[in-house]
Amino acid sequence: MQHDDLNQLTFNNRFVRELPADPQAMNLTRPVHGACFSRVMPTATSAPKLIAHATEVADLIGVSEAAVQSDHFAQVFAGSATLDAMDPFAMTYGGHQFGTWAGQLGDGRAINLGEVVCPDGKVRTLQLKGAGPTPYSRTADGRAVLRSSVREFLCSEAMFHLGVSTTRALSLCLTGDAVMRDMFYDGHPGDEPGAVVCRVSESFVRFGSFELPASRGEVEVLRELADRTIEWHFPHLMQGKSQPDASTYVAMFHEVADSTATMIVDWMRVGFVHGVMNTDNMSILGQTIDYGPYGWLEDFNPAWTPNTTDAGRARYAYGEQPKIGLWNLIKLGNALVPLVEDVDPLSKIVEGYQDLYSAKWRVMMGDKLGLGVLDDEAGTELAQDLLALLSEVETDMTIFFRQLARVPIPAEGTASTWSDLKPLLEAFYDPSQGADETSQDSMERLAGGIDHPGPATPSVPEAHRTNLIAWFQRYAQSARASSLTEEERVQTMDAANPKYVLRNYLAQLAIDKSAEGDHSLVQELLEVLRRPYDEQPNRQAFAAKRPEWARHRPGCSMLSCSS
């Protein structure tokens, strides 16, 4: 049922009803002990204005298009008004940031409006990001700027449509207020347009939500949080029990490990780099959460991170994400020890994580290559050899895998030549070509549906051509031996390898245009990213390689944690 009036929504607000609250009511930055949340109201803004929304998410929570277009919607989801049934709060949690325990963190610029009962019967939290200060804001203002909000809004929905587990985004609103930010922490702050994103999820509980009470010895708070998390999100683990016991907590940890591995395998599949995999940014549901300095791997470089804060160590680089997922799970497991009172069952899950991840990775890579599950050493070696080749010469990951399905498999005994691999040519970067294109040219190309300019035959080193041909010969042999037909191979690959992703330069172009008051590219990108696996003939320009002007431009190559 879709409601035309937001006041018709039903909230159950179970988080604040059933978990320990901060006893202090004042919205002052301070340590908060013995609690899972603090009640706090959003700060009103001067001129709320809706500039984009996801119709699918509005449908999900039961809000009609008429309600979305109302002034009341903009007021509520920019933080200037609340519904009577809401009970807003900010969550308490801690976390390891870049490998170091940071102590109390919490929702510093996120305010949960409440938990709404949706038409499908599920309960989802509506959370505003950028709605003002909370007791966890530390020295910050709790606000968000347009550029970070556009990126959060678009990426939340892009990831969902790519089939990656993620929080969702309902709306993107301007506030009418200026927010001062120093984007690269270099002593050059400036005013930027303020904005608010409404994020939607069944839970915003993080690994750090358990770490904080465990670090303080607040075992009863830890137990209450774990028990309610199991009741609300893992009820099947109770198996007739009246209360969770040690085995239930272990079973929950196992499911978190499984969903985390699935999420990271999908990140690797589509070339997504989270950029800030701190334990406070890890969802207990295995959802991608907190879209800050993320980026898409354009040229295949496993050592690349989009995060300026992490540039020196590259702790959260693309190729490090599986290992960091395990590291974070170890920290969650440590936090659960006071409840389980036995390290061994938790340790076994941690020890089995690599095998768990590897099994999922072999399924994923088998799909990307159209070969079925890579269930032997030869198949795994074939995939690993390709990834090594891609890192040797600047190659667009998304385009390469998509175009690999366009290369016909030759008959047995037929030798492949470089010309046979012609569909792959557009995946190679050549810095000497196309350097004269500007961001304005790119904007016009997108607006006009013009194909990306560039040479028909990029300069690819002869040795690399030879190695790639040799690899393809092995690949073709595996494809012929596969149980999949040629048509099934292509269908499997196209379902695993998107044509359209939220390339960093595309997001920046949308931000540039939106900052000028034109939000059409945000809307257009949202529409393109709804069907990332479809060809979309009139939108080929959105699938183009990164242009040379974007190679080193801020927002297109590197971002800070305030981005």
Convert the pLDDT of each residue in 190-223 to its tens digit: 889 999 999 999 999 999 999 999 999 999 999 9
CA distance 76 to 44: 9
Q: Say which residues have a Cβ less than 8 Å from residue 353's Cβ, sequence separation at least 6.
A: 257, 261, 325, 326, 329
**Residue 148, pLDDT score:** 95
**Residue 554, pLDDT score:** 83
Two tokens at 400? 């390469």
Position 436 confidence tier, pLDDT thresholds 50, 70, 90: low
Amino acid at 342: D
**Residue 442, pLDDT score:** 82
Give the tens place of pLDDT for each residue, 295-349: 999 999 999 999 999 989 999 999 999 999 999 999 999 999 999 999 999 999 9
**Residue 445, pLDDT score:** 75
CA distance 465 to 428: 11
Q: Tokens 């557009």 correspond to what residue?
A: 426
CA distance 470 to 107: 52
Q: Tokens 């449509």 correspond to what residue?
A: 161
CA distance 369 to 265: 15
Nearest to 250 by CA among 354, 332, 313: 332
Give the tens place of pLDDT for each residue, 70-112: 999 999 999 999 999 999 999 999 999 999 999 999 999 999 9
Two tokens at 360? 């999922």
State mean pLDDT over 8-14.
Answer: 97
Q: Would you say residue 396 has pLDDT above 80? A: yes
- Judge whether 355 counts as a catalytic residue: no
Q: Which residues of 149-179 are buried (b: 16+ CB within 10 A; e: fewer)?
A: bbbbbbbbbbbbbbebbbbbbbbbbbbebeb
**Residue 561, pLDDT score:** 67
Give the tens place of pLDDT for each residue, 351-369: 999 999 999 999 999 999 9
Q: Report whether 158 contacts 502 (CB < 8 A).
A: yes
**Residue 484, pLDDT score:** 92
Q: What's the Cα-to-Cα distance from 5 to each of 18, 47, 62, 83, rounded to whole Å?
A: 28, 21, 10, 11
Straight-line distance from the first to the last Cα atom of the chain, in angstroms, rounded to the nearest whole number: 37
Domain map of the chain by residue range? 6-207, 212-361, 371-550
Q: Report whether 104 contacts 94 (CB < 8 A).
A: yes
Q: Tokens 């999100």 correspond to what residue?
A: 233
Question: What is the DSSP track for 454-503?
Answer: --SS----HHHHHHHHHHHHHHHHHHHHSSS-HHHHHHHHHHHS-S----
Q: Would you say residue 14 has pLDDT above 50? A: yes
341: left (phi over 0), alpha (psi -120 to 50) or beta: left
Q: Would you say residue 153 has pLDDT above 80? A: yes
With a pLDDT cut of 70, the percent of the chain lying above it is 96
- Angle subtended at Cα 50 by Cα 48 and Cα 53, rounded to the nearest 5 degrees: 150
State mean pLDDT over 33-41.
Answer: 98
454: left (phi over 0), alpha (psi -120 to 50) or beta: left
DSSP-derived 3-state class of residue 338: helix
State mean pLDDT over 276-291.
Answer: 98
Q: Would you say residue 553 has pLDDT above 90? A: no
**Residue 181, pLDDT score:** 82
**Residue 236, pLDDT score:** 97
Give the tens place of pLDDT for each residue, 500-534: 999 999 999 999 999 999 999 999 999 999 999 99
Q: Say which residues have a Cβ less than 8 Å from residue 247's Cβ, sequence separation at least 6.
A: 345
CA distance 61 to 514: 27
Look at 558 and 72; give whichever has higher pLDDT. Answer: 72
Tell how far CA 276 is from the center of its chain: 11
Q: How many CA atoms lie within 13 Å of 176's alpha carbon, on the beta-carbon side?
A: 13
Q: Report whether 209 contacts 36 (CB < 8 A).
A: yes
Q: Any idea of the CA torsion for 95, 98, 101, 107, to the nearest 10 degrees?
A: -30
Alpha helix positions (H), 142-218: 146-162, 207-216
CA distance 321 to 268: 8
Look at 436 and 275; give whichever has higher pLDDT. Answer: 275
Which element (helix H / strand E) includes 561? none
Position 455 confidence tier, pLDDT thresholds 50, 70, 90: very low
DSSP structural state of residue 63: B
Mean pLDDT of the chain: 94
Q: Say which residues have a Cβ less than 8 Å from residue 37's Cβ, sequence separation at least 6.
A: 15, 16, 19, 21, 22, 89, 90, 91, 92, 112
Q: Tokens 């239930």 correspond to what residue?
A: 248
Catalytic residue among 22, 87, 266, 280, which? 280
- 245-252 LR contacts (CB < 8 Å, sep 24+): 246/339, 246/340, 246/341, 246/342, 246/345, 247/345, 249/336, 249/339, 249/340, 250/336, 250/340, 250/345, 250/346, 250/349, 252/226
Q: Report whether 496 contacts 364 (CB < 8 A).
A: yes
CB atoms within 10 A of CB 236: 9
